Amino acid sequence: MKLFLFSGAALTMLSACSSTSAANPDPKKPAHCVAAFHYGRELMLSGDNPNYKAAIGMSGRILFEMKRMSASELPKAKEVGSDLLAQYGKNFDLMNKLLLDCRDNQNADPSFQAADKSGAIKAAARKVDPICKNDQACLAGKKY
């Protein structure tokens, strides 16, 4: 499941329009934060000077949020995230606020702090993020 999240199909699904309308962005909803961190990851990779380290960090944050959801919640979360990005993805101010609020909530969570401090979050992100695919230095944490 985690590998699928970062596939091109998953990113397309998150940015495509779907049949239900998105609720107001809420940093207390894991699906909204997953969408916000996907948004942030794409921002980190855009432009002439992509920030791969920050993009991998966003991938780690996505994985952490996904752990908050049960397997049965994931399909609905994808739909909600897709709707949120379709409705608000062009609103930089709103999406940036959601991203920062989700980041702040994670940073205040003792379980996130422990996993981040241990390096587990970035290690998990490197295993699934396409940036590190077939790059042994990246996978080993020696790059980005």
| Domain spans of the chain, in order of start | 30-139
Counting Cβ atoms within 10 Å, is residue 30 exposed (0-12), middle (13-18) or buried (19+)? buried
pLDDT in tens, the chain (144 residues): 343 344 333 443 343 333 344 579 999 999 999 999 999 999 999 999 999 999 999 999 999 999 989 999 999 999 999 999 999 999 999 999 999 999 999 999 999 999 999 999 999 999 999 999 999 999 999 999
Taking the whole predicted model, whether its pTM rises above 0.85 is answered as no
